[in-house]
Amino acid sequence: MRLDKYLKVSRLIKRRTVAKEIADKGRITINGKVAKSSSDVGIGDELSLLFGNKTLVVQVTRIVETTKKADAEEMYTVISDTPRV
């Protein structure tokens, strides 16, 4: 699944266009490598997202095309959520 679509479906980022903009600015990495919005995301991948003043690191546990809000959190496991210095 494309990175921008995964971020929207999992509700890590609210809109796909916002996910695309953030990825294309180099603020998202997959397994330590800078990712574009079209990068493929697979189960077991580690995503690092730089949001303004914090860094969120998650591991992909599930990939589905659509999901309900209550089930979206099952798509990833939060590894760390730290303020950026």
Tokens of 8: 């929207």
Six token digits for residue 14: 């609210």
Q: Which residue has the tokens 């979206």?
A: 72
Which pLDDT score is estimated for 85?
Answer: 66
For residue 54, which of 78, 24, 73 has the smallest C-alpha distance? 78
State phi, psi for 51 to the nearest 5 degrees: -105, 110
**Cα 14 to Cα 43: distance, rounded to the nearest angstrom:** 21
Whichever domain contains 36, its CATH number is: 3.10.290.10
pLDDT of residue 17: 92
The first and second tokens of residue 23, run together, are: 């990825």
pLDDT of 84 over the 70 cut: no
Alpha-carbon span 61 to 73, nearest angstrom: 10
Domain that holds residue 69: 3-83
Q: How many domains does the chain have?
A: 1
Run of H or E residues at 41: none
**pLDDT value at residue 58:** 95
Unique residue bearing structure tokens 């998650």: 58
**pLDDT tens, residue by residue, 6-64:** 999 999 999 999 999 999 899 999 999 999 999 999 999 999 999 888 899 999 999 99
